[in-house]
Amino acid sequence: MTAHDSGGGVGSVPLGRRSRQLAKRCRRVEFSLTDEEFGDLDAAATRAGLARGAYAAEAALSVARGVACPADNPFREALGEFIRAAGLVRRIGVNLNQAVARLNATGQRSGDLLPYAAVCLRRAERLDAAAEEIRRKLR
């Protein structure tokens, strides 16, 4: 397994990536794990919302520096849940598209289609804003 930075735009850190540093990360660390150890690492990285390499690097550096591992921050797990919830809310768009397709096909819409769509959009925007606020605080 290789622990190294997998990239990402400056100022934008998608879930699963470590933030970029001003100094380029040009050193590479490799180590081997048993199947059980790999499973443990994979589960921890998933809980933290990070790629395995990013999680391993953050955990190793935290131990080396004698500080708490930022990947184990409970807010990171909350961020992952927010992102998943926002994705589920966006899926509602599929149902709305189907309702609009029916409207286009039949020329009739139910009275609650527009209010329902508006509520869904507001909720998705609120979830996205909350997730972004948590992401900023984790930096």
For residue range 76-110, list pLDDT tens digits in order.
677 777 777 877 777 777 777 777 888 888 888 87
Among 80, 83, 54, 84, smallest CA distance to 69 is for 54
Q: Could you give the count of Cα atoms lying within 13 Å of 48 in the half-sphere of its Cβ?
A: 25
User: Looking at residues 1-18, what average pLDDT do you find?
Assistant: 42
Among 25, 32, 98, smallest CA distance to 58 is for 25
Q: What is the DSSP pairing of strand 29-30 with strand 2-3? A: antiparallel
- State the burial class of residue 18 (Cβ atoms within 10 Å of its Cβ: 0-12, 13-18, 19+): buried
Instruction: Quote the distance between the C-alpha of residue 88 and its chain's center.
Output: 13
pLDDT band (50, 70, 90) for residue 3: very low
Q: Give residue 35's pLDDT.
A: 95
Q: Alpha helix locations (H) across the chain? A: 35-48, 52-65, 74-106, 113-138
Q: Which residues on adjacent β-strands are paired with residue 50?
A: 16
Please report, rounded to a whole number, the percentage of residues in the chain having pLDDT higher than 70: 77
User: Is the Cβ–Cβ distance between 64 and 56 less than 8 Å?
Assistant: no
Residues in the chain: 139
Indicate whether this model's pTM tops 0.85. no
pLDDT band (50, 70, 90) for residue 69: low
Predicted confidence (pLDDT) at residue 125 exceeds the cutoff of 80: yes
User: Looking at residues 11-31, what average pLDDT do you find?
Assistant: 66
For the chain, domain boundaries? 2-71, 73-138
